[in-house]
Amino acid sequence: MNGVFAQLNAALTGTIEGVLRSVVQVRDTTRGAGAGTIWHSDGLILTNAHVAQRGSLQVALQDGRVLPATVIARDDERDLAALSIDARDLPTIPIGSSRHLHPGQWVMALGHPWGVTNAVTGGILIGVGSNLPELQMPRRDWVVADLHLRPGNSGGPMIDVSGRLIGVNTLMTGPGVGVAVGVDAAKQFLRESLGARAADAVVHAADYV
Q: Mind telling me the catalytic residues?
A: 50, 79, 154
Contact 19, 157 (CB under 8 A): yes
Beta-carbon count within 10 A of 44 CB: 23
Q: What is the helix, strand, coil percentage profile of the chain, to 5?
A: 20, 40, 40
CA distance readout (Å), 132 to 128, 129, 145, 186: 8, 7, 12, 19
